[in-house]
Homo-oligomer: A and B are copies of this chain.
Amino acid sequence: MTSTVRLGEQARVAALDEAVSLDELRLAARNHGMPLEALRDDLTPPGLHYLLVHYDIPFVDPASWRLTIGGHVYSPIELDLAALTARPRVETVVTLECAGNGRARLLPRPVSQPWLDEAVGTARWAGTPLAPLLRESGLLDGAVDVVFTGHDHGTERGVEQDYQRALPIEEALGSDVLLAYEMNGAPLPPQHGAPVRLVVPGWYGMTHVKWLRDITVLASRFTGYQNAVAYRLRADADDPGEPVTRILPRALMMPPGFPDFMTRRRIVDAGSLVLRGRAWSGRAPVVRVELSTDGGQSWTDAALGESLGRHAWRSWSARWDAIRGEYELCVRATDEVGAQPVDPLWNLQGMANNMVQRMAVTVR
């Protein structure tokens, strides 16, 4: 495993006193999170869903687009968009989150896209299930991984690549995995993978390969960059680490009151108000959301709203009798496996940091 970890240069970690670099700022200006006031909506309005694009957004002509399915199969398949959309159609509401969400809250800070809390969004995806297509291709015995390749091309830490991610065959055959061609009732926008992307409900965003062009079944483990190097929980450069897979639990709060432009500190009028937000987990159903108004020292249960589906966020609400003063509001989700950590779990590449949200509030 060590040899594949060395594929490319090592991840850089900022010095303890090192502030955000021009490289990180350039990524932050291109990519964007979901402004947290959009937690108001079940489905994130178009243009507000978080967006992370590794290289450039490729503009793929839907008329000439083809999807090939091959590798360790008996009958390779080639489909155009008309053939794909003529297949059985499924709709599903899915909360997507970037595996790097929370990275810029780590200390020291791994240097990459510098997300704080907001790399999330929920959409209604429509597409056709992947599993029947894989079965029609005649999977041969011994299939291990399925590699999904996009049209996006670039270099990362010295490794030139088309964006590629593999899923274990048993995950790729999951009944909820889609080849999606619509987002919220419209064709996919270019930045979300037009004309077709993979949707793997419950998994972090790197899995949902955009601008999909090829699916290749392997009889061995995939050792490409995005699986073997990038999206892993590594303690240091010598640690091959564990793969990043399903989304860990997280709750976020709609910011109450109104903000200060520069600091985003919230100003709230004293009185009784209802705090609201959303919670989700790709690992197991969310069973509890708790609110703290004292920076995480004490917690009270919030009420959970209706579920929108197993892989969609769930609303929560909690009444707060706000008295004049300075507060740090925190919220944390617990799923059937466990709770969000109050303090972050550091790793070399800043992956899957689901530490609790902290929001500075002045009650006047």
Closest to A152 in B: B258
A56 interface hit (Cβ, 8 Å): yes
- Residues of chain B lying within 8 A (CB to CB) of residue A32: 29-32, 51
Are A29 and B189 in touch, CB under 8 angstroms? no
Q: Which residues of B contact A156 (CB under 8 A)?
A: 260-262
In contact, B33 and A57 (Cβ under 8 angstroms): no
> Would A29 and B33 be within 8 Å (CB), given that A258-B155, A260-B154 are in contact?
yes
- Inter-subunit contact B29/A190 (CB<8 Å): no
CA distance A112 to B157 in the complex (A): 31
Q: Is the CB of B118 within 8 A of A155?
A: no
Q: Is the CB of A45 within 8 A of B190?
A: yes
Q: How many residues of A contact B (CB 8 A)?
A: 58
- Give every chain B residue within 8 A of A26 (Cβ-Cβ): 116, 263-264
CB proximity to B under 8 Å, residues A1-41: 18-33, 35, 37-38, 40
Which residues in chain A, 43-64, are within 8 Å of chain B measured between CB atoms? 45-49, 51, 53-57, 59
Find out whether the CB atom of B116 lies under 8 angstroms from the CB atom of A25.
Answer: yes
CB-CB < 8 A to A27: which residues of B?
262, 264
Least CB distance, A131 to chain B, in whole angstroms: 30
A32 to B191, CA, bound (A): 13
Given A19-B21, A27-B264, A47-B192: 14 more A-B contacts, CB < 8 Å? A20-B20, A24-B25, A28-B29, A29-B33, A29-B114, A30-B118, A32-B32, A32-B51, A40-B59, A46-B47, A48-B190, A56-B259, A155-B267, A156-B261
Q: Which 6 A-B residue pairings sit nearest by Cβ, starting from the closest? A: A19-B19, A32-B32, A47-B47, A20-B20, A28-B28, A156-B261
